[in-house]
Amino acid sequence: MRKLGMAVAGVLLAVAVILPVAARAQSESDLNASDLNAIYTIKDIGFNHSQVMDIMSYLTDVYGPRLTNSPNMRAAAQWTEDEMKQWGLANVHTEPWKFGRGWSNELFSAMMISPRPYILIAYPLAWTPGTSGPVTAEAVLAPIASEADLDKYRGQLKGKFVLTQAPPDDPAHFEAQGHRYTDAELEEMSEEPIPGARNLDRFAQFRALRALRQKIQAFLVAEGAAGWIEPSRGDDGTVFVQSGGSYDPNGPPAPPSIAMASECYGRIYRLLEKKIPVTLRIDDENKFYDDDLNSFNIIGEIPGTDKADEVVMIGGHFDSWHSGTGATDNGAGSGVMLEAMRILKASGLKMRRTVRIGLWTGEEEGLLGSRAYVKEHFGDPATMQLKPEQQKLDAYYNIDNGTGEIRGVYLQGNEAVAPLFEKWMVPFHDLGMTTLTIRNTGGTDHLSFDAVGIPGFQFIQDPIEYETRTHHSNMDVYERLQEPDMKQMAVIVASWVYLTANRDEMIPRKPLPSPSTSPF
């Protein structure tokens, strides 16, 4: 997931709700005794009999990274289906959608052989080919800042490991990279900003860099380079790794492509600047899987009672990148939502509406799985032609901002829901949930639902180390999960679902959006 804060049009200024203990009695009376007893039961199961960290260990330690359409993803999905069936969930199944080829790394090692032996921290980029066995070859600098630079190196790169850019700066860290929101930050977040002019230059720069990268890729393939080595933006051995090739079987070819820790890359770069020859030995074994070009979403339900034809959905994306084990992005969201379903089923609490979990794949490639599900079941945002199920889906709640505890809700511009959510937060003030903001957070699967007029919400979460250390990196592993935060999230999600499922009315809706080709 890519976390981008955005302003959404609206006139209500939603403010942080932080009530003193003395003021709570009146607010708590807004929830009836039955609701409060249900929340007590959910808290007892979620805090005293939690299974969330065991779920997380299976998803991360046992099955590892879950790149879309990879064998790991399929194995983890089968385990998840089996667990949901054991808990007694109904209608557990997967729903296929067209994606592309799978990919996995089977073996990787990288060393500098000369002028001195040196173990390198590096990872292959997804959907790129391997080296077809260990390759020992010279490293060369070929700085390419524009398409015009390509001609400088034509005919010089065959069989070489090519470095095309300078290493990033690695400044010292004088403040902790982990962070929880302060009261002041939450209060500021609750205020609705007035949108300024869109930064079109930034989007133009991004498109230009992407186009240049595609040209470099094609050039290196044509030149017969042994591999393309790029520096990661991380430091302290943290490597941020995504894709370097295409999951489309007919997509453009790519060279063997590697992201390297900035410290390792920097040493090679400085040696080459000094005209000291550098020899590398890289063994990169990758596999493509073309036998099934469909990915899938994972679905399970707890049937409702008198309003069973209406549905409350929760979800998060199941897929991840491949250098870590996909713990905070987004094993945490998947694990919390699974635990919430387990808690609700184990509680025996009756819910009027059906509760459904959806775990999406292809999110990292552009919310593809949730967009396919929404288009199949609820409507096409490009035409805004809606299906009958769209009127029956009450609300969708999403987790995809890492391991940090829930501090509130992004209202996604839905002003009418603020008084309701404000009331529901009261029993969770002591757990740190105090804030509503009219703002939206971008890049998560709730956008697919919002795009066809369904109330879709992402919870506000403490950032912890998400953007600084774990997001899309080799440090996205079980050890970076915060167990108390995971339990808190599962309890709040389960409670939120229970309260939504048992209301007389459905969640208030915004006016339908205009047709759009993208939910971003």
pLDDT tens sequence across 267-276: 999 999 999 9
Q: Kindly indicate the confidence band of residue 192, based on its pLDDT and cuts at 50, 70 and 90.
A: confident
Region 347-368: mean pLDDT is 98
pLDDT at 119 over 80: yes
Cis amide bond preceding 105, omega within 30: no
Non-local (6+) Cβ contacts of 206 within 8 A are none
How far is the C-alpha of 194 from the C-alpha of 8, rounded, in Å?
9
How far is the C-alpha of 283 from the C-alpha of 293, rounded, in Å?
27
User: Are 432 and 370 spatial neighbours (Cβ–Cβ below 8 Å)?
Assistant: no
Question: So what's the pLDDT on residue 519?
Answer: 52
How far is the C-alpha of 103 from the C-alpha of 129, rounded, in Å?
9
CATH architecture of 4-99+293-501: 3-Layer(aba) Sandwich (3.40)
How many degrees, rounded to 5, is the angle at CA 502 between CA 413 and CA 376? 60
The residue among 1 and 264 whose pLDDT is bigger is 264
Q: Domain segments of the chain: what residues? A: 4-99+293-501, 103-289
Question: So what's the pLDDT on residue 203?
Answer: 79
Helix or strand (DSSP H, E) at 456: strand 456-461
Q: At residue 154, what are phi and psi to the nearest 5 degrees?
A: -65, 130
Non-local (6+) Cβ contacts of 385 within 8 A are 379
Task: Please write the tens of the pLDDT for every residue from 328-341.
Answer: 999 999 999 999 99
Region 314-342: mean pLDDT is 98
User: Are 177 and 468 spatial neighbours (Cβ–Cβ below 8 Å)?
Assistant: yes
Question: So what's the pLDDT on residue 29?
Answer: 40
Give the HSE-up count for residue 317: Cα atoms under 13 Å, Cβ half-sphere: 35
Fold match flag (4-99+293-501 vs 103-289):
no
Q: Which DSSP category does 199 fall into?
A: -
- Report pTM: 0.93
Non-local (6+) Cβ contacts of 245 within 8 A are 103, 125, 126, 127, 128, 129, 251, 253, 254, 257
What are the angstrom distances between the C-alpha of 390 and each of 115, 375, 376, 451, 509? 64, 10, 11, 11, 12
What are the angstrom distances between the C-alpha of 54 and each of 84, 242, 458, 464? 14, 27, 24, 21
Region 94-117: mean pLDDT is 98
Task: Please write the tens of the pLDDT for every residue from 195-206.
Answer: 777 776 777 888
Beta strand pairing call for 379-380 and 385-386: antiparallel
Tokens encoding 69: 């359409």
Task: Please write the tens of the pLDDT for every residue from 279-310.
Answer: 999 999 999 999 999 999 999 999 999 999 99
- Give the CATH class of 103-289: alpha beta
Biggest alpha carbon–alpha carbon distance for the chain: 78
Q: At residue 356, what are phi and psi to the nearest 5 degrees?
A: -125, 135
Give helix 332-347 / helix 71-87 axis angle, nearest 10°. 10
Three-state SS at 303: coil
Least confident of 138-147, 228-237, 269-278, 510-519: 510-519
How far is the C-alpha of 398 from the C-alpha of 237, rounded, in Å?
31
Beta strand pairing call for 257-260 and 122-124: antiparallel
Average pLDDT, the chain: 93
Q: Kindly indicate the confidence band of residue 193, based on its pLDDT and cuts at 50, 70 and 90.
A: confident
Question: So what's the pLDDT on residue 30?
Answer: 74
Region 35-55: mean pLDDT is 98
How far is the C-alpha of 236 from the C-alpha of 247, rounded, in Å?
31
User: Are 192 and 7 spatial neighbours (Cβ–Cβ below 8 Å)?
Assistant: yes
Q: Kindly indicate the confidence band of residue 5, based on its pLDDT and cuts at 50, 70 and 90.
A: very low
User: Are 122 and 266 spatial neighbours (Cβ–Cβ below 8 Å)?
Assistant: no
Tokens encoding 86: 């054991």
Task: Please write the tens of the pLDDT for every residue from 391-428.
Answer: 999 999 999 999 999 999 999 999 999 999 999 999 99
User: Where do the DSSP E strands lie in 294-347?
Assistant: 294-302, 307-317
pLDDT at 479 over 70: yes
Q: Kindly indicate the confidence band of residue 239, based on its pLDDT and cuts at 50, 70 and 90.
A: very high
Question: So what's the pLDDT on residue 3?
Answer: 45
Question: So what's the pLDDT on residue 1?
Answer: 58
User: Are 144 and 164 spatial neighbours (Cβ–Cβ below 8 Å)?
Assistant: yes
Least confident of 196-200, 437-441, 458-462: 196-200
User: Are 289 and 103 spatial neighbours (Cβ–Cβ below 8 Å)?
Assistant: yes
Question: So what's the pLDDT on residue 517?
Answer: 65
Q: Which residues pair with 354 in a beta bridge?
A: 311
Percent of the chain residues topping a pLDDT of 90: 89
How far is the C-alpha of 122 from the C-alpha of 280, rounded, in Å?
12
Region 124-142: mean pLDDT is 98
Q: Which residues pair with 473 in a beta bridge?
A: 240
How far is the C-alpha of 236 from the C-alpha of 465, rounded, in Å?
14
